[in-house]
Amino acid sequence: MSRPVIAVPGRFTESASALRYRGVVAARKLLEAVWAAGGDPHVLLPADGADAFDWASRLRGVDGVLLPGGGDVNPRRYGGDSTHVSLYDVDELQDETDFTLARYALEHGVPTLAVCRGLHVVNALLGGTLVIDMDVHHRHHVHEVSVDDPADVLGVGNRPITCSCYHHQAIDQVAEGISVLGRAEDGVVEAVSIESAGWAAGIQWHPEDTYDVDPDQLLPFRKLVAEASR
């Protein structure tokens, strides 16, 4: 049986030694996790121009979307301070790519999984806000997330799971259309379902970090692939 194609917007990088110049990249472990779950990840170029955001054309042959982690969303997208000293890797083209892709996917029912920055993008898109810089960062941080998901939207059941995190921002005001399914012990929103014409969910942690040693972490990817296979 053929693997469903999962579109992943690439991330800009100023240094990629194998390429000699600046690059567009995706985290290897993230792509490997999609592959291990049965999908075929395809990295998309964040391009400029009118046809760059013609997602009906660009997603032809695509079965699902994964909005990955990355740099900070420009706070002007949610009414925040765009001059805050903690911000890093803010890029208008990256934001426009992610926001327009997320809007199209949700409106047209393309199965969508949003991870870390991807979750921030969807929350801001739907009218929510972000904590620009958490008092206690969750960089290189492992903690327990309590999941309360009776409908099993995420595919991980209803139980605590141990998760690897890397972020200094988090959801502040939860947008309409987003339902919280899991929080960390300190109250940070870690898992959500997202109102969509199809299946959509988001997680704050990085399941790709430990998917190869913790079977629980492969489950959100399996859920995305299963929904994309429909």
Catalytic residue among 116, 138, 167, 227: 116
138 catalytic? Reply is no
What's the CA gap between 38 and 33, in Å, rounded?
9
Report the candidate in 217, 191, 194 with the shortest Cα–Cα distance to residue 112: 194
State whether residue 43 is helix, strand or coil: strand
Q: Are 41 and 221 in contact (CB under 8 A)?
A: no
Helix axes 92-107, 117-125, angle to 10 degrees: 70
Residues 64/4, Cβ–Cβ less than 8 Å:
yes
* 175 DSSP 8-state letter: P
Catalytic residue among 165, 190, 208, 227: 208
- Name the active-site residue from 120, 138, 167, 206: 206
Amino acid in position 230: R
- What does the angle CA 168 – CA 7 – CA 88 come to, to the nearest 5 degrees? 25
* Residue 166 contacts residue 156 (beta carbons within 8 Å): no
Closest CA to 126 of 103, 98, 101, 92: 103
Interstrand relation of 64-67 and 5-9 (parallel, antiparallel or unpaired): parallel
Q: Which residues are part of the catalytic machinery?
A: 116, 206, 208
